[in-house]
Copies of this chain bind each other. A is one copy, B any other.
Amino acid sequence: MDKRIATLAEAVSGIPDGASVMIGGFGGSGAPIELIHALIDRFLETGSPKALTVINNNAGNGHVGIAALIEQGMVARMVCSFPRSADPRVFTERYQSGEIELELVPQGTLAERIRAGGAGIPAFYTPTSYGTDLAKGKPVEEFDGRPYVQERWLKADFALIKAEKGDPYGNLTYRMAARNFSPLMATAAARTVAQVSHLVAAGDIDPEAVVTPGIFVDGVVEVADPQQEEELNRAGAHHP
C-alpha cells in the first residue's frame, strides 16, 4: 500500500471541469494552500478545471488560496457558512455580479452534512435553522414535541486537505485548530488528497494518534514547509 504522490501537479491532475471540491480549512488554519495553488497553476496552463463547486467554511480571503481560485474564474458555486473575511472582495464582487452562486449553510449543519455524506447517512434532522430563511423549502418534522429541519448529506468528487503527518497508508494527523473540517471532508469525497507537512513511514504514527484513518485517503503529497494563508495575507501576497 503506497498512497504517496510525488508532485503537487500530479496530486491535482484528476480534477475535471465542473467537479465538486471540498477544501479543508477554517479561515487560514488548515487551508491547503499549495494544493489550491497547484490547481490554479494547472488552470493557467491548460484552462482546466473550471466551473468548480467549492465547499469550504469560508469563501476566501485576500488573493491567495480559495480567493485566488475565485479570482481566476474557476469557481461557479460556493457552499459555505461564512463568506466573509478580513478581505473578502474577490468573492463579494463575483457574487454580486452573479458570476458565483452561493449556498449558505449554518456551520454546524455544514459539518454534519459532510459527516453524513461520509457515514452513509442520507438525511438527518437538526434544530438548527428552524423557523429561519435558511430552512425554507426543507421538510420539518416534530420529535418529542420539538420541530426539526431535515438536512441532506453532502458529498463531493474531491477533497483537498492539509494535514500535519501522513504515512503511505494515508493515515493522517493534524496541527491544532487546523483540524476543523478536514477529517470530515476526507470521508465524504470520492477522492481525497492530503498535503502533509511530514511524510513518515508506515508505523511511525501511533495507531492511537491517527485522526483520519487511511481508508478515507487516496493520496498524500509532502509539502514540507507549507505556507499559512493568514501569514500570506498579512504580507499582501497574490497567487500567481
1/0 per residue, CB under 8 A from B, across A13-38: the answer is 00000000000000000000000000
Instruction: State which of A72-80, A116-124, A183-191, A193-201 sits at the interface with chain B.
Output: A116-124
Q: Which residues of the other chain, B, contact A71 by a CB distance below 8 angstroms? A: none
What's the number of copies of this chain in the assembled complex? Answer: 2
Per-position contact with B for A108-133: 1 when CB-CB < 8 Å, else 0? 00001000100111111111000000
Evaluate contact between B127 and A124: CB separation under 8 angstroms: no
Q: Does A120 contact B126, Cβ atoms closer than 8 Å?
A: yes
Q: Which residue of B116, B148, B207, B208 is within 8 Å of A122 (Cβ)? A: B148
Question: Main SS of the interface on chain A?
Answer: mixed
Question: Any chain B CB within 8 A of the CB of A141?
Answer: yes
Q: Report A206 CB to chain B, min CB distance, Å.
A: 9
Cβ–Cβ contact A141 & B120, under 8 A: no
Residues of B within 8 A of A125 (CB): 121-124
Report yes or no: B152 in contact with A123, Cβ–Cβ below 8 A: no
Question: Once bound together, how far apart are the Cα atoms of A174 and B121, in whole Å?
Answer: 27
Specify which chain B residues have a CB less than 8 angstroms from the CB of A143 in the assembled complex: 122-123, 152
**Cα separation A4 to B188 with both chains bound (whole Å):** 38
Q: In whole angstroms, how far apart are the Cα atoms of A126 and B120 in the complex?
A: 7
User: Would you give the 0/1 interface string for A96-112, flagging 1 where the beta carbon is closer than 8 Å to chain B?
Assistant: 00000000000000001
Residue numbers in B under 8 Å from A148 (CB-CB): 122-123
Q: Taking CB as reference atom, which chain B residue is nearest A177?
A: B207
